[in-house]
């Protein structure tokens, strides 16, 4: 790995302008101040989760993926079983696959890693909460000395195309392929016909950050242990897909069968609906979508 790629001659000017220090001293401004965001009623959510009853569960085998459906108002958990394992999560509107999880905007709104109280937003033109994180047993982790945190929205998913480009081999059980296969089974189609629906993921239980020197994406061993879970409240009817990454705990490698891998469990819960009576369900953005065309007409 070349950590000094930005210092190679000819790549960029090395002599800073005279006012470089003052340019660098500009104060950061939070792009989306949390105080201006509509906040979910976490007290109501907490009350609802105390009434919930498990209605369904399924196992996602190691190096494979499964789909699941969650109705609006239900809760779902991704649970660590057997051993440390990272999961790659995709979410779609159950009635319209063109509405799907928008990792980039979720990152811009909530930060590089998400936790309890944060929401998973959908793409434009919908841009609404698809799910709210209602509980996270790894909330204690915060950020470590390396700058690593849990449940990131900064990476994407391991995939056979990048693996072929960097390593020269064809590996069929990357998260992108697992998610494509699972969605294909759900839709009774071929993986190649549905893989364009697979999108940037929420990296569940994964410990990631950017290196302090080169700002490169890194991963390190996930602190997740059997019994840990992250729990979501569904804000719309959802089709989900979860891949148990071939990277296992993502301490060293992925995109091969080298890492020790474990299954993950998905649990779905029905709360007492009366508790959520006052809940404001998310609607697609009210923006008019004219985008400035025919202004004034
Ligand atoms: Zn993966």
**What pLDDT sits at residue 296?**
57
Whether the CB-CB separation of 242 and 14 falls below 8 Å is answered with no
Mean pLDDT of the 177-184 span: 98
Calculate how far, in angstroms, residue 124's C-alpha sits from the geometric centre of ligand 1: 25
**What pLDDT is stored for residue 1 in this prediction?**
44
Q: How far is the CA of 245 from the centre of ligand 1 (A)?
A: 4
Confidence of residue 6 (pLDDT cuts 50, 70, 90): low
The CA distance from 141 to 207, in Å, is 10
Residue 59 has pLDDT above 90, yes or no: yes
Whole-number Å distance, alpha carbon 248 to ligand 1 midpoint, is 8
Tell me the per-residue pLDDT of 69-98, one tens digit each, with 9 for 90 and over. 999 999 999 999 999 999 999 999 999 999
**Which residues, other chains included, contact 26 with Cβ-Cβ below 8 Å and sequence gap of 6+?**
none
How many percent of the chain have pLDDT more than 90?
Answer: 81
The pLDDT of residue 10: 66
More confident site: 270 or 37: 270
> How far apart are the C-alpha atoms of 220 and 204, rounded to whole Å?
13
Q: For 50, phi and psi rounded to 5 degrees? A: -80, -10
| Residue 98, burial from CB neighbour count under 10 angstroms (0-12, 13-18, 19+) | exposed
Measure the CA–CA gap between 85 and 265, rounded to whole angstroms.
11
pLDDT at 295: 63
Of the candidates 151, 152, 119, the residue with the CA atom closest to the CA atom of residue 233: 119
pLDDT of residue 8: 58
Q: What does the pLDDT average to over 176-185?
A: 98
| Beta-ladder partners of 70 | 238
Q: What's the pLDDT at 256?
A: 76
H-helix segments, the chain: 20-24, 42-49, 103-110, 160-167, 175-187, 191-194
Distance from Cα 85 to the centre of ligand 1, integer Å: 10
Which residues have beta carbons under 5 A from ligand 1 (an ion)?
158, 175, 245
pLDDT band at 35 (very low <50, low <70, confident <90, very high): low
User: Is the pLDDT at 289 greater than 60, yes or no?
Assistant: yes
Q: How many residues does the chain have?
A: 297
pTM of the predicted protein model = 0.92
d(CA 146, CA 61): 31
198 CA to middle of ligand 1, Å?
13
Q: Are 246 and 173 in contact (CB under 8 A)?
A: yes
Beta bridge partners, 202, equal 89
- Where b means 16+ CB within 10 Å and e means fewer, 235-253 reads bbbbbbbbbbbbbbbbeee
Q: What is the mean pLDDT of residues 145-171?
A: 95
Greatest distance between any 2 Cα atoms in the chain: 66
Asked if 141 and 222 count as a contact pair (C-beta separation under 8 A), the reply is no
Confidence of residue 291 (pLDDT cuts 50, 70, 90): very high
pLDDT for 34: 65
Instruction: Provide, rounded to the nearest whole percent, the portion of the chain with pLDDT above 70.
Output: 94
What is the pLDDT at residue 2? Answer: 45
For residue 87, report the distance from its CA to the centre of ligand 1, in Å: 7
Question: What's the 204 CA to ligand 1 centre distance in angstroms?
Answer: 10
pLDDT value of position 29: 86
From 55-59, 109-113, 250-254, the region with the lowest mean pLDDT:
250-254
125 cis-preceded (ω within 30 degrees of 0): yes
Tens-digit pLDDT profile for residues 201-230:
999 999 999 999 999 999 999 999 999 999
What's the CA gap between 293 and 297, in Å, rounded?
Answer: 9
Answer yes or no: is pLDDT of 3 > 60.
Answer: no
Q: Mean pLDDT across the stretch 8-30?
A: 84
Q: Determine the distance separating the centroid of ligand 1 and the alpha carbon of 290, expressed in angstroms.
A: 38
What is the per-residue pLDDT for 194? Answer: 98
Q: Judge if the upstream peptide bond of residue 7 is cis by omega within 30 degrees of 0.
A: no
């Amino acid at each position: 790995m070349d950590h000094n790629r930005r210092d190679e001659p000819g790549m960029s000017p090395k002599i800073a302008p005279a006012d470089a220090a003052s340019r660098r001293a500009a104060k950061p401004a939070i792009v989306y101040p949390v105080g201006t965001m509509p906040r979910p009623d976490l007290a109501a959510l907490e009350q609802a989760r105390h009434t919930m009853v498990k209605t369904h569960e399924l196992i996602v085998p190691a190096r494979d993926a499964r789909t699941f459906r969650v109705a609006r108002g239900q809760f779902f958990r991704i649970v660590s079983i057997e051993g440390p394992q990272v999961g790659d999560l995709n979410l779609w509107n159950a009635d319209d696959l063109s509405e799907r999880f928008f990792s980039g905007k979720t990152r811009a709104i909530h930060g590089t890693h998400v936790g309890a109280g944060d929401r998973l937003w959908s793409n434009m033109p919908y841009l609404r909460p698809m799910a709210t994180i209602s509980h996270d047993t790894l909330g204690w982790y915060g950020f470590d000395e390396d700058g690593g945190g849990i449940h990131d929205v900064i990476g994407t998913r391991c995939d056979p195309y990048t693996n072929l480009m960097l390593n020269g081999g064809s590996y069929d059980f990357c998260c992108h392929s697992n998610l494509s296969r699972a969605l294909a089974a759900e839709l009774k189609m071929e993986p190649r016909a549905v893989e364009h629906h697979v999108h940037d993921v929420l990296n569940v239980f994964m410990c990631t950050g950017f290196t302090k020197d080169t700002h490169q994406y890194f991963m390190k061993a996930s602190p997740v242990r059997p019994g840990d879970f992250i729990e979501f409240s569904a804000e719309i009817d959802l089709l989900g897909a979860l891949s148990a990454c071939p990277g296992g705990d993502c301490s060293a490698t992925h995109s091969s069968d080298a890492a020790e891998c474990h299954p993950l469990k998905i649990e779905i819960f029905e709360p007492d609906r009366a508790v959520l009576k006052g809940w404001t369900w998310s609607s697609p953005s009210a923006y008019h979508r004219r985008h400035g065309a025919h202004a004034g007409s």
